[in-house]
């Protein structure tokens, strides 16, 4: 390995120079968090890692011998499998947990073949430290400006975000990063771990142009099972807010479109609203369950908005809200794509017209 291409790199570093990023940790470690765009080629399985770790407490030498055997077998399997068609000139970055033994072993074999394999100094632990420090640094910069879109459930805040993006605006879609819509009925499958959510957030922030405003939705500090970093929560409290408004019939229409999967799973929906008995009372929940069982969806959603979601809403500017009072209200005549596009263009134009 020449001086121009050292065997190790440290963060911060431009990772785009690498053809691929390879995480050699176990599948369990990879699922917890990993570098963006990394591919998992583990040299120890979850079971093998546990086995080697347990043995190490009793006999470090035998643990290293067993680990070396497992690692060698895994590397051979990867060369015969996922890497069998890789051409000369490949330039990957490899990393493991911290010590570098797993990634260094793999990288050494790859270099012996002729590939320009390098490793990340400090491994995942160094990456995790960099992410948290860089998040704080970016969010403390005074030139990063968020514009918060607030509004009652069903007004279409996420729809507006996506149209803003399509019209050239910068957005951070926290619900997409968290894989959750931020409410009782908002689950969309498995959520990322807290660490993986923070990695996704860091990547989203790192590609923003700080000279331009960033639009995002007014969320609580928890989205499903993940929490917003405290630095982001503080930044939101300092950011300007606009409020989106829409009539209840149109909000119902929008929600029936966005949650079209629930009528296909009425039992699941009934079990979810059951969780509101203590908060909203037995009679109310039974009314909702009856509406669900009889397929009276407009009635159900209207009642759920009026008797649950609207009652929970923390209006920006109120004592129990993290957000400032809205500087502007943006009324929507309906939930059509045209209505949202007109509001998006208005927001973008008003932002570009502001003096520096």
The percent of residues in the chain predicted with pLDDT above 90, rounded, is: 90
CA angle 103, 124, 93 (to 5 degrees): 45
pTM, whole model, 2 decimals?
A: 0.93
> Which burial class, exposed, middle or buried, applies to 306 when counting CB atoms under 10 A from its CB (0-12, 13-18, 19+)?
exposed
Q: How confident is the model at residue 355 (pLDDT cuts 50, 70, 90)?
A: very low
Q: Which residues contact 107 (CB under 8 A, 6 or more apart)?
A: 7, 94, 117, 118, 119
The residue annotated as part of the active site, out of 10, 96, 312, 335, is 96
Question: Is 312 a residue of the active site?
Answer: no
pLDDT given for residue 113 in this prediction: 97
Token pair, residue 19, equals: 């053809």
Average pLDDT (86-99) is 95
Q: Find where tokens 């079971």 sit.
A: 47
Confidence of residue 354 (pLDDT cuts 50, 70, 90): low
Confidence of residue 54 (pLDDT cuts 50, 70, 90): very high
Which pLDDT score, from 0 to 100, does residue 183 have?
Answer: 83
The pLDDT value given to residue 352: 66
pLDDT of 274 strictly over 50? yes
Domain ranges of the chain: 8-130, 140-352
Q: What is the pLDDT of residues 232-241, one digit of tens each?
A: 999 999 999 9
What value does the mean pLDDT take over residues 243-261?
95
| Alpha-carbon gap, residue 254 to 317, rounded angstroms | 26
Tell me what the pLDDT averaged over the chain comes to. 94
Fold of 8-130: Oxidized Rhodanese; domain 1 (3.40.250)
Annotation: CATH topology of 140-352: Rossmann fold (3.40.50)
Distance from C-alpha of 166 to C-alpha of 16, rounded to nearest angstrom: 25
Residues 237-264 have a mean pLDDT of: 94
pLDDT in tens, 280-320: 999 999 999 999 999 999 999 999 999 999 999 999 999 99
- What number of other Cβ atoms are within 10 A of residue 58's Cβ? 8
pLDDT value at position 5?
53
- Given a cut of 80, whether residue 82 has pLDDT beyond it is yes
Residue 177 scores a pLDDT above 60: yes
What per-residue confidence (pLDDT) applies to 240?
A: 96
pLDDT value of position 356: 47
On whether the CB atoms of residues 292 and 276 are closer than 8 A, the answer is no
Confidence of residue 219 (pLDDT cuts 50, 70, 90): very high
In DSSP terms, 328 is beta-bridged to 242
Res 254 pLDDT > 60 = yes
Q: What is the DSSP string of 96-136?
A: -SSS-HHHHHHHHHHHHHT---EEETTHHHHHHHHHHHHHH
Query: Which token pair is 229?
Result: 């970093």
pLDDT at 81 over 90: yes
Q: Stretch 11-28: mean pLDDT, rounded?
A: 96
- Does position 4 have pLDDT exceeding 70, yes or no? no
Q: Tell me the two tokens of residue 286.
A: 């039974």
pLDDT tens-digit map of 20-48: 999 999 999 999 999 999 999 999 999 99
pLDDT at 280: 96
| End-to-end CA gap in the chain | 49
Residue 165, Ramachandran bin (φ over 0: left; ψ between -120 and 50: alpha; else beta): alpha
Alpha-helix residue ranges (DSSP H) falling in 27-166: 27-32, 46-58, 60-80, 101-113, 123-139, 157-166
Amino acid 353: pLDDT: 55
For residue 181, pLDDT over 70 is answered with yes
Q: Cα dihedral sign for 96, 102, 108, 110?
A: negative
């Amino acid at each position: 390995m020449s001086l121009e291409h050292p065997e190790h790199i440290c963060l911060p570093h431009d990772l785009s120079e690498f053809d691929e990023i390879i995480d050699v940790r176990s599948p369990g470690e990879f699922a917890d968090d990993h570098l963006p765009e990394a591919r998992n080629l583990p040299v120890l399985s979850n079971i093998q890692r546990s086995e080697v770790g347990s043995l190490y407490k009793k006999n470090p030498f035998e643990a290293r011998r067993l680990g070396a055997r497992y690692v060698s077998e895994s590397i051979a399997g990867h060369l015969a499998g996922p890497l069998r068609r890789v051409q000369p000139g490949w330039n990957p970055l490899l990393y493991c947990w911290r010590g570098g033994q797993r990634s260094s072993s793999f990288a050494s074999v790859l270099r012996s073949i002729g590939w320009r394999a390098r490793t990340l100094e400090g491994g995942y632990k160094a990456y995790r430290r960099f992410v948290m420090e860089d998040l704080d640094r970016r969010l403390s910069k005074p030139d990063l400006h968020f514009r918060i879109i607030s509004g009652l459930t069903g007004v279409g805040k996420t729809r507006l975000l996506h149209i803003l993006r399509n019209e050239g605006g910068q957005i951070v879609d926290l619900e997409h990063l968290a894989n959750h819509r931020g409410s009782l009925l908002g689950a969309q499958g498995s959520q990322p771990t807290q660490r993986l959510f923070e990695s996704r957030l860091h990547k989203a922030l790192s590609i923003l142009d700080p000279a331009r405003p960033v639009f995002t939705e007014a969320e609580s500090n928890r989205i499903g099972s993940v929490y917003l970093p405290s630095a982001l929560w503080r930044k939101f409290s300092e950011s300007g807010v606009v409020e989106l408004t829409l009539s209840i019939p149109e909000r119902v229409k929008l929600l029936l479109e966005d949650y079209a999967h629930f009528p296909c799973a009425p039992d699941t929906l009934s079990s979810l609203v059951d969780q509101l008995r203590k908060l909203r009372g037995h009679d109310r929940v039974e009314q909702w369950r009856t509406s669900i069982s009889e397929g009276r969806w407009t009635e159900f959603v209207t009642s759920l908005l009026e008797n649950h979601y609207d009652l929970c809403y923390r209006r920006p500017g109120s004592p129990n809200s993290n957000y400032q009072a809205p500087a502007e209200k943006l009324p929507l005549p309906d939930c059509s794509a045209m209505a949202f596009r007109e509001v998006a263009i208005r927001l973008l134009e008003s932002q570009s017209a502001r003096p520096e």
